[in-house]
């Protein structure tokens, strides 16, 4: 590997090292090493195909002051159509205090790391912090591996997703993901969002740059957070999300554990459409949830969330249409749970005919808001569509 210092980078936290990285990326070398240091980057690092960027664990890649506000969309990305790209190591600092969203532009502007139209992508051994919006966003990325990623936010922002998987992503593995601190990441830890269209909504904002498309064959495992917004969000309107596995999830969340809530843009039109049209949207199939051990916590960040609490109905909140959902070994730690009996474990509100099998007993639930109870060996498990009840382990 060739050290980035050979191209003039200093890593002294004062010099703008972006020109040195540009020279390295244009040199034709396939591997670049970044030693320990603090590298101020006033620009967007765009990686080519067949390229490896290896960083020392104490190599800080800092989005320089006001770089994002001057129109630079990301700190790290790759050329369109890139293949076989690896980023290994380093601390990726969004410096969101000095990189606020551009006034008047899309509220999701401020993504720190974004890859689109890339195949065989590997992101590993990275600490990502203080993004203005999403930490890591993938869109039309195939055959990817994201592993050993730590989110460690000191400055909290809304839409601060951890790993945000957009349309067109297939055959991916996301594993060994951690969120440390009182609220990190400050939004969905892992989000699978296939589209934002539907019910007369326009396609995704081109400024934001996320295109709709199917999401298929994603494996998620070994996810832990001290306190995150939600562990996993699955959201679809028209585009399918299929063949998803999420195993070995643990820790605390202040909103919801697994959310399949209706698209927020669709929810905004609730007054214009009957509930049976809004609830139950989405094309979600073959989802397996297994070995979860989570609990609710209080929110210790710098802003509200009361608006969102008006919507959440359970630790597992399902308002979309989902076919073939398996939940196995899901444990809610009642001793550490902050919301206690005020929040059901499972909420179904999708206006669909739900057929549930609970410990060998099958029951069919008709659409509506009437609370119901499933009898089983845990006789106080309550599944409610509107009223909170006491429940234990599902």
Rounded-to-integer distance, Cα 389 and Cα 73, Å: 46
Check pLDDT > 60 for residue 311. Answer: no
Rounded-to-integer distance, Cα 184 and Cα 319, Å: 25
Ramachandran quadrant class, 89 (left: phi over 0; alpha: psi -120 to 50; beta: rest):
left
Best CA proximity match to 146, nearest among 194, 79, 191, 183: 191
pLDDT tens string 100-121 = 877 666 656 789 999 999 999 9
The C-alpha angle with vertex 353 and arms to 283 and 320, in degrees rounded to 5, equals: 30
Q: What is the per-residue burial (b if ≥16 Cβ within 10 Å, else e) of 240-277?
A: bbbbbbbbbbbbbbbbbbbbbbbbeebeeeeeeeeeee
The whole-model pTM stands at: 0.89
pLDDT tens string 338-348 = 876 677 788 87
Contacts of 126 (CB under 8 A, 6+ apart): 87, 88, 89, 90, 91, 92, 148, 149, 150
Which tokens belong to 114? Answer: 């974004």
Q: Is residue 268 part of a domain?
A: yes
pLDDT tens string 135-165 = 999 999 999 999 999 999 999 888 899 999 9
Over the chain, what is the mean pLDDT? 84
Check pLDDT > 60 for residue 13. Answer: yes
Q: Is residue 394 part of a domain?
A: no
Which tokens belong to 249? Answer: 């999830």
Domain count, the chain: 1
Rounded-to-integer distance, Cα 211 and Cα 194, Å: 8
Domain span including residue 66: 2-383
pLDDT tens string 180-236 = 998 899 999 999 999 876 544 444 454 456 888 999 999 999 999 999 999 999 999
Contacts of 28 (CB under 8 A, 6+ apart): none
Q: Is residue 240 part of a domain?
A: yes
Q: Is residue 393 part of a domain?
A: no
Residue 114 neighbours by CB distance under 10 Å: 25
Q: What is the pLDDT of residue 105?
A: 62
Q: Is residue 152 part of a domain?
A: yes
Rounded-to-integer distance, Cα 269 and Cα 66, Å: 36
Q: Is residue 323 part of a domain?
A: yes
- Is residue 190 within 8 Å of residue 134, measured between CB atoms? no
Locus of tokens 């890859």 = 115
User: How is residue 198 annotated by DSSP?
Assistant: B
Structure confidence at residue 364 as a pLDDT band (50, 70, 90): low
pLDDT tens string 49-101 = 999 999 999 999 999 999 987 778 899 999 999 999 999 999 999 999 999 87
SS3 letters across 283-317: EEEEEEEEEEEEEECCCCCCCCCHHHHCCCCCCEE
Locus of tokens 């459409």 = 273
**Which whole number is the average pLDDT over 291-300?**
87
- Is residue 195 within 8 Å of residue 122, measured between CB atoms? no
Residue 123: give its domain's CATH number: 2.160.20.10
Q: Is residue 33 part of a domain?
A: yes
Which tokens belong to 48? Answer: 């080519």
Q: What is the pLDDT of residue 361?
A: 62
Q: What H or E segment, with its residue span, contains residue 369?
A: none
Q: Is residue 392 part of a domain?
A: no
**Which whole number is the average pLDDT over 308-322?**
75
């Amino acid at each position: 590997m060739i050290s980035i210092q050979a191209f003039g980078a200093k890593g002294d936290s004062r010099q703008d090292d972006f020109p040195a990285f540009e020279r390295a990326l244009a040199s034709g070398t396939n591997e670049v090493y970044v030693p320990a240091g603090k590298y101020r980057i006033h620009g967007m690092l765009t990686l080519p195909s067949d390229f490896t960027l290896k960083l020392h664990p104490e190599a800080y890649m800092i989005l320089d002051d006001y770089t994002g506000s001057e129109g630079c969309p990301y700190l790290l990305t790759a050329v369109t159509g890139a293949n076989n790209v690896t980023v290994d190591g380093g601390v990726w600092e969004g410096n969101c205090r000095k990189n606020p969203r551009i006034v008047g532009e899309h509220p999701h502007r401020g993504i720190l790391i974004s890859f689109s139209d890339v195949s065989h992508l590997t992101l590993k051994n990275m600490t990502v912090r203080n993004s203005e919006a999403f930490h890591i966003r993938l869109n039309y990325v195939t055959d990817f591996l994201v592993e050993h990623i730590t989110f460690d936010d000191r400055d909290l922002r809304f839409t601060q997703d951890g790993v945000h998987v957009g349309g067109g992503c297939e055959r991916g593995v996301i594993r060994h993901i951690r969120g440390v601190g009182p609220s990190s990441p400050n939004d969905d830890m892992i989000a699978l969002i296939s589209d934002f269209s539907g019910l007369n909504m326009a396609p995704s904002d081109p400024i934001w740059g996320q295109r709709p498309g199917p999401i298929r064959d994603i494996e998620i495992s070994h996810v832990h957070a001290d306190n995150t917004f939600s562990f996993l969000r699955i959201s679809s309107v028209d585009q399918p999300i299929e063949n998803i596995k999420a195993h070995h999830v643990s820790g605390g969340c202040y909103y919801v554990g697994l959310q399949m809530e209706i698209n927020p843009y669709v929810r905004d039109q609730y007054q214009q459409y009957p509930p049976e049209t809004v609830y139950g949207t989405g094309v979600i199939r073959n989802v397996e949830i297994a070995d979860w051990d989570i609990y609710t916590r209080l929110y210790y960040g710098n802003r509200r969330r009361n608006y969102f609490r008006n919507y959440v109905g359970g630790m597992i909140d399902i308002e979309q249409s989902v076919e073939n959902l398996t939940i196995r070994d899901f444990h809610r730690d009642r001793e550490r749970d902050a919301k206690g009996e005020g929040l059901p474990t499972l909420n179904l509100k999708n206006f669909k005919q739900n057929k549930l099998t609970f410990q060998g007993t099958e029951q069919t639930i008709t659409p509506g808001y009437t609370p119901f109870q499933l009898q089983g060996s845990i006789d106080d498990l309550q599944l409610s569509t509107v009223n909170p009840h006491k429940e234990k382990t599902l």
